[in-house]
């Protein structure tokens, strides 16, 4: 059997790439071990145009956001399921310095369309510590990633295009114009393995900087929040008094064990936001496929041009993957160049060093 592409990994990266490959008329066969704690299955799925503690505009958000919104809306229509839950994000201020900082920034026209209002004060609330006011951020929300992945899996399975198997690299044959794997031939193979990509011998020279993230689901009786709240953690309303709290970042112990320490950290930070008692109903752990320079890893292997990677989405995969997938396909079909910031060619010197050591 011949395909245009083999895709290994069906988390957010592989799933979105596969959608766009199919949309551009390519044939694809996908391999995935559907791990319950793959990053895409535990993530809160947030899209936030404001990034980090210093409140910078998220990198390339003006380009990423319209592409992401259009993609998730298209998937909603195709699968008749709500996926992109748009909700304003209320970034609560912790100190008067934060207030001042934002009053200065929010007048900058670069924020037009993203900042609805800067509140120096908010009325006392029965539910939320909001006395120091906050910043109301537009165009954010969250994507129901598990639902999206489930729909895509069912769709691919019905068409016989998803193999729920661990992909065995030892069985890959590199051909002059493609690859062969277990009797299947394709022009190219694209690895979308998330954190496991760091162990892939084709790409182990790339500077992954994996980090562990933990997240809680909580129940807050009789509270239906109008916003996603953010102050050190996110409190994401899922409906019916359920909330997702995220997330921790841990670069020291990158394993899949849930910890009491993370549970306490998330609980305590949630108590800084919510006044009401809540019950923790679940705790999840995942590993973010992050990169040293915090930019994705996209492109063709420097030597084996039939082997490619689409990975390194870090903590912004939901926002970035739809546009990056489109750009990557244009590059694969030789219609366009990748942004140099995401192209793995930026790490050519690491590749050269790795080959000279062997
Ligand atoms: C706690 C937490 C919270 C997060 N919150 C957010 C958020 O709010 N917003 C956001 O944008 N991002 C968030 N992220 C980051 C986001 O989850 C990642 O950027 C994204 O999910 C990465 O997707 P991926 O497809 O690259 O990897 P993964 O989700 O890990 O998927 C990889 C898939 O490939 C499969 N696989 C790997 N190797 C093989 C193989 N050899 N054979 C077969 N299958 C294979 C795996 O089993 C898995 O199913 C969060 C991450 C964590 C951990």
- Of the residues 260, 287, 314, the one at which a domain ends: 287
What band does 186 get if pLDDT is binned at 50, 70 and 90? very high
Does residue 242 sit in the same domain as residue 342?
no
Q: What is the distance of C-alpha 216 from the center of its chain?
A: 17
User: Which range of residues forms the domain containing residue 17?
Assistant: 2-42+146-209+292-356
Q: Is residue 7 part of a domain?
A: yes
Does residue 270 sit in the same domain as residue 297?
no
Does residue 319 sit in the same domain as residue 195?
yes
Does residue 184 sit in the same domain as residue 282?
no
What does 155-197 look like in DSSP terms, one character per residue?
HHHHTT-EE-S---GGGEEEETTEEEETTEEEEEEEE--GGGG
Residue 57 DSSP code: E
pLDDT at 80 over 70: yes
User: Quick check: CB of 30 below 6 Å from ligand 1?
Assistant: no
- By most ligand atoms within 8 Å of CB, the mutation choice from 194, 259, 283, 298 for ligand 1 is 194
pLDDT tens for 253-264 read 999 999 999 999
Give the residue among 13, 1, 350 at the shortest CA–CA distance from 197: 13
Question: In Å, what is the CA distance from 211 to each residue of 92, 207, 249, 255, 296?
Answer: 26, 13, 6, 9, 14
Q: Is residue 79 part of a domain?
A: no
pLDDT tens for 108-140 read 777 888 888 888 778 889 999 998 899 899 999
- Rounded CA-CA distance 134/116 in Å is 11
Q: Is residue 62 part of a domain?
A: no
Angle between helices 12-23 and 145-158 (to 10 degrees): 50
Q: How many domains does the chain have?
A: 2
Residue 116: predicted pLDDT: 83
> Contact 83/75 with Cβ under 8 angstroms?
yes
User: Quick check: CB of 31 below 6 Å from ligand 1?
Assistant: yes
Q: Is residue 58 part of a domain?
A: no
pLDDT at 19 over 90: yes
Q: How close is the Cα of 39 to the center of ligand 1, in Å?
A: 3
pLDDT at 162 over 70: yes
Residue 287: predicted pLDDT: 98
Q: How close is the Cα of 23 to the center of ligand 1, in Å?
A: 22
Q: How close is the Cα of 253 to the center of ligand 1, in Å?
A: 18
- Of the residues 269, 287, 305, the one at which a domain ends: 287
Phi then psi for residue 319, to 5 deg, are: -75, -45
Residue 357: predicted pLDDT: 63
CATH code of the domain containing 217 = 3.30.9.10
Burial status of residue 209 (CB atoms within 10 A of its CB: 0-12, 13-18, 19 or more) = middle
- Of the residues 236, 261, 287, the one at which a domain ends: 287
Q: Is residue 72 part of a domain?
A: no
Residue 237: predicted pLDDT: 96
pLDDT at 22 over 80: yes
Mean pLDDT of 331-348: 95
Q: How close is the Cα of 104 to the center of ligand 1, in Å?
A: 36
Residue 342: predicted pLDDT: 98
Bridge partners (DSSP) of residue 343 are 298
CATH code of the domain containing 345 = 3.50.50.60
Does residue 261 sit in the same domain as residue 205?
no
Q: Is residue 121 part of a domain?
A: yes
User: Which tokens go with 282?
Assistant: 């679940």
Give the residue among 17, 57, 75, 15 at the shortest CA–CA distance from 40: 15
Does residue 223 sit in the same domain as residue 351?
no
Burial status of residue 263 (CB atoms within 10 A of its CB: 0-12, 13-18, 19 or more) = middle
Does residue 157 sit in the same domain as residue 273?
no
pLDDT tens for 225-278 read 999 999 999 999 999 999 999 999 999 999 999 999 999 999 999 999 999 999
């Amino acid at each position: 059997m011949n395909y245009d592409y083999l895709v290994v990994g069906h988390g957010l990266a592989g799933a979105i790439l596969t959608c766009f490959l199919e949309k551009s008329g390519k044939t694809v066969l996908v391999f995935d071990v559907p791990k319950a704690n793959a990053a895409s299955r535990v993530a809160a799925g947030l899209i936030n145009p404001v990034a980090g503690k210093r409140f910078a505009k998220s990198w390339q958000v003006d380009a990423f956001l319209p592409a992401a919104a259009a993609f998730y809306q298209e998937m909603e229509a195709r699968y008749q399921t709500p996926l992109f839950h748009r909700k304003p994000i209320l970034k609560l201020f912790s100190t008067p310095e934060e207030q001042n900082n934002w009053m200065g920034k929010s007048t900058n026209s670069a924020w037009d369309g993203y900042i609805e209002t800067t509140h120096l004060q908010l009325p006392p609330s029965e539910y939320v510590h909001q006395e120091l006011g906050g910043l109301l951020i537009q165009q954010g929300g969250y994507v129901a990633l598990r639902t999206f992945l489930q729909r895509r899996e069912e769709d691919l399975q019905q068409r016989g295009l998803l193999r729920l198997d661990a992909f065995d690299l030892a069985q890959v044959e590199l051909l002059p114009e493609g690859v062969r794997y277990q009797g299947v031939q394709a022009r190219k193979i694209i690895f979308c393995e998330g954190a496991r990509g760091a162990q892939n011998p084709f790409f182990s020279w790339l500077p992954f900087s994996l980090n562990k993230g933990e997240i809680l689901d909580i129940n807050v009786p009789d509270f239906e929040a109008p916003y996603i709240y953010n102050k050190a953690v996110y409190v994401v309303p899922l409906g019916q008094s359920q909330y997702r709290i995220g997330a921790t970042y841990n670069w020291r112990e990158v394993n899949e064990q849930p910890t009491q320490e993370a549970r306490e950290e998330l609980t305590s930070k949630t108590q800084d936001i919510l006044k009401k008692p809540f019950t923790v109903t679940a705790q999840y752990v995942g590993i973010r496929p992050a990169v040293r320079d915090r930019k994705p890893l996209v492109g063709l292997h420097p030597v084996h041009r039939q082997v490619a990677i689409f990975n390194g989405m870090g903590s912004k995969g939901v926002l970035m993957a739809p546009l990056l997938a489109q750009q990557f396909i244009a590059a694969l079909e030789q219609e366009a160049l990748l942004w140099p910031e995401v192209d793995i060619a930026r790490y050519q010197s690491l590749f050269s060093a790795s080959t000279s050591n062997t």
